[in-house]
Chain A
């Protein structure tokens, strides 16, 4: 018998925020609000808000459909329409959902886009995705923001200038035309102030995993924590309130020495601390989490929570440099980093959060995440001498989640982690 999930105040707040957004979207036709379809990595939420438009994130819809067990049917629908088995399953889920009447995850109909804002970072599939959407919504304008990949491992002034120029000449004029409103840089700066406040808080929240036991799980619960900041609420006062509330709740857990809350109940004993690379599987999310819970494994840092923006190294949206900081934000997203940067970042996480092991969940249909993961794993193993594990699943295609295979591999990984503790004298041999 599954237990009831304990709902904290922040969870209720988040649920209300999302329900409100989907309600607003369902009423967009009546209210006359314009709708922008865009992506999470490198999302320009603040700019969308500056024009009083509403965002739709197809990846979020897909993952929500996955968690609600609807994605399998949508994917099959898209495959019937000619999309190959190897295509990103977020794309196919989104297209399948559209072909089924575009009913969003909350059961309300999503409005068609007034603008397709392609501010992709590190994922070239996004381009193909919106090429498809352009065909489904003929005549809808497309604004493309080409984010330069950090091939050289740093952001140069030329890259900043290139981003600002695209924002000024390509993105903003199209947004002005669609919304019928003039760009107001001061309004944007005000929104960015809220973004920076939320970003300060989210860094503090994910830093609480330095405590032992960690009060939160930075992967399974972390995907909920990044929800508001990644689903169009960054820059809003609601997001700041949400993160203040969440931070207070977590600090209370630290004060009481409590471990993370999970759907199975509170984690009572923290046996292993992990850093995880790659997105989670959404179709069997709870089962997947339980495999970790059963072993007392807590994720203290994950790369996935940095995919919609990375604030660890001090980047904040800056009201004093609005467009430049929007550009920097896009270029700083995790999948826009080169492999050595990603390895360094993961090494820092493993060291600073005192992780016992490193695990990769390689996603079958996500090239932007999966490319290079074996190399990254090997480097981290060599540099740090920690146990590493590799499992495979998918984002929202239930056909690629093999419970037994994942369990077998996780069992071995956890056994190895246990053995290392025996060697270090932290655990008894039997």
Chain B
């Protein structure tokens, strides 16, 4: 370790940009974090705004950041020093949030990916949902919009369900048709949304079994902050008698950004040592 310094991680996802500021040392600490929905803007501009926001809020200049790292679709982040693959950043971030995790599930807007990790969050293997949108966070967002719910309230509403109605788990288009039909049949919104969560959960559990995942399984990514989703996975696991221990963290949405900041710190030290060696 060569002293203490700041790093920043920026994770550009399908719907949100997430950024964290880390005080990097032998025991790194998250100093600040922020998310911003991309909406119809250029993700590079959103990322830039987010970096400036965190710097200003914490009284820092860009030069104070030893390493600004991007991940996800963040290759376009203009002031980054390096880019890290999202599989490695989610693993690192997931393990940071829940030390001892052996599997990290990155549940994002576009897909879900279960990653088996080893010592020092090293990626050992992975499994990913198929191309159909029915295994993605965007699918849940689309259904929520149709039902008149904001993405923030989806989890709570789902947890009010008493008789979930599960749609087709194979195809997002079929599932949407199912939902339209459920609405016209008068099925209560909590039961529809819980059914959607169960449907996506079924896909996630399939990934875990195909991966031969090991516990603890850390749920990360944007979908992990949806309490209804976490509850649905836990319930379905219990029902199907798979003995996975499911854990998550309030900062789970930042797993990629945290991982990028941590790998950024690691790389900064390495580069500094190389510089000294050649000096």
Residues of A within 8 A of B126 (CB): 412, 416
Q: For the side of the interface on B, what is the size category?
A: 20 to 34
A411 vs B126: C-alpha distance when bound (angstroms):
12
Which residue of chain A has the shortest Cβ distance to B118 in the bound complex?
Answer: A423
Residues of A within 8 A of B270 (CB): 430
A100 close to chain B: CB less than 8 A: no
B248 close to chain A: CB less than 8 A: no
**Is the CB–CB distance between B131 and A409 below 8 Å?**
yes
Indicate whether A412 sits within 8 Å of B87 (C-beta atoms), given known contacts A402-B131, A430-B263.
yes
Which residue of chain A has the shortest Cβ distance to B271 in the bound complex?
Answer: A430
Residues of B within 8 A of A387 (CB): 125
A418 close to chain B: CB less than 8 A: yes
A391 vs B85: C-alpha distance when bound (angstroms):
19
Report how many residues on chain A are interfacial, defined by Cβ distance under 8 Å: 20
Residues of B within 8 A of A402 (CB): 131
Which residue of chain B has the shortest Cβ distance to A412 in the bound complex?
Answer: B128
A390 vs B263: C-alpha distance when bound (angstroms):
28
Closest Cβ of chain A to B167, distance in Å, is 21
Indicate whether A405 sits within 8 Å of B113 (C-beta atoms), given known contacts A412-B87, A415-B86, A430-B263.
no
Residues of A within 8 A of B244 (CB): none
Which residue of chain B has the shortest Cβ distance to A430 in the bound complex?
Answer: B267
B98 close to chain A: CB less than 8 A: no
**Is the CB–CB distance between A419 and B84 below 8 Å?**
no
B250 close to chain A: CB less than 8 A: no
**Is the CB–CB distance between A408 and B111 below 8 Å?**
yes
Cβ-neighbour of A430 out of B84, B86, B87 (below 8 A): B84
Closest Cβ of chain B to A63, distance in Å, is 22
Closest Cβ of chain B to A391, distance in Å, is 8
B99 close to chain A: CB less than 8 A: no
Which residue of chain A has the shortest Cβ distance to B263 in the bound complex?
Answer: A430
Residues of A within 8 A of B87 (CB): 412, 415-416, 419
A422 close to chain B: CB less than 8 A: yes
Residues of B within 8 A of A238 (CB): none
**Is the CB–CB distance between B128 and A430 below 8 Å?**
no
**Is the CB–CB distance between B122 and A422 below 8 Å?**
yes
Residues of A within 8 A of B267 (CB): 430
A404 vs B14: C-alpha distance when bound (angstroms):
11
Which residue of chain A has the shortest Cβ distance to B266 in the bound complex?
Answer: A430
Q: Which of A342-397 contact B (CB under 8 A)?
A: 387, 390-392
Q: Which of B113, B131, B263 has the most CB of A within 10 A?
A: B131
Indicate whether A419 sits within 8 Å of B123 (C-beta atoms), given known contacts A411-B85, A412-B113.
yes
Q: Which of A392, A405, A416, A419 has the most CB of B within 10 A?
A: A419
Closest Cβ of chain A to B230, distance in Å, is 23
Q: Which of B81-130 contact A (CB under 8 A)?
A: 82, 84-88, 110-111, 113, 122-126, 128, 130
Q: Which of A404-430 contact B (CB under 8 A)?
A: 404-406, 408-409, 411-412, 415-416, 418-419, 422-423, 429-430
Q: Which of A404, A405, A406, A415 has the most CB of B within 10 A?
A: A415
| Secondary structure class of chain A's binding surface, majority of residues | helix
Which residue of chain A has the shortest Cβ distance to B267 in the bound complex?
Answer: A430
Indicate whether A415 sits within 8 Å of B266 (C-beta atoms), given known contacts A409-B128, A409-B131.
no
Per-residue contact bits, chain B 150-192, to A (CB 8 Å; 1 contact, 0 not): 0000000000000000000000000000000000000000000
**Is the CB–CB distance between A419 and B131 below 8 Å?**
no
Closest Cβ of chain B to A106, distance in Å, is 34
Q: Which of B87, B124, B267 has the most CB of A within 10 A?
A: B87
Residues of B within 8 A of A404 (CB): 110
Closest Cβ of chain B to A390, distance in Å, is 7
Residues of B within 8 A of A405 (CB): 131
Which residue of chain A has the shortest Cβ distance to B264 in the bound complex?
Answer: A430
A391 vs B111: C-alpha distance when bound (angstroms):
13
A359 vs B85: C-alpha distance when bound (angstroms):
19
A376 vs B263: C-alpha distance when bound (angstroms):
36
Cβ-neighbour of A390 out of B122, B124, B130 (below 8 A): B130
Closest Cβ of chain A to B242, distance in Å, is 19
Residues of A within 8 A of B122 (CB): 419, 422-423, 429
Residues of B within 8 A of A411 (CB): 85-86
Closest Cβ of chain A to B85, distance in Å, is 4
A391 vs B131: C-alpha distance when bound (angstroms):
8
Which residue of chain A has the shortest Cβ distance to B210 in the bound complex?
Answer: A378
A419 vs B92: C-alpha distance when bound (angstroms):
13
Per-residue contact bits, chain B 118-148, to A (CB 8 Å; 1 contact, 0 not): 0000111110101100000000000000000
Residues of B within 8 A of A406 (CB): 131
**Is the CB–CB distance between A415 and B88 below 8 Å?**
yes
Binding site for A on B (CB under 8 A): 82, 84-88, 110-111, 113, 122-126, 128, 130-131, 263, 266-267, 270
22 CB-based A-B contacts, threshold 8 Å:
A387-B125, A391-B131, A392-B130, A392-B131, A402-B131, A408-B110, A408-B111, A409-B111, A412-B87, A412-B113, A412-B128, A415-B85, A415-B87, A416-B123, A416-B125, A416-B126, A419-B123, A423-B122, A423-B124, A430-B82, A430-B84, A430-B267
Which 4 A-B pairs give the minimum distances between C-beta atoms? A419-B123, A415-B85, A415-B87, A405-B131
Q: A409-B128, A423-B124 are in contact. List 7 more A-B contacts (CB 8 A).
A: A390-B130, A402-B131, A405-B131, A416-B87, A416-B125, A419-B88, A430-B270
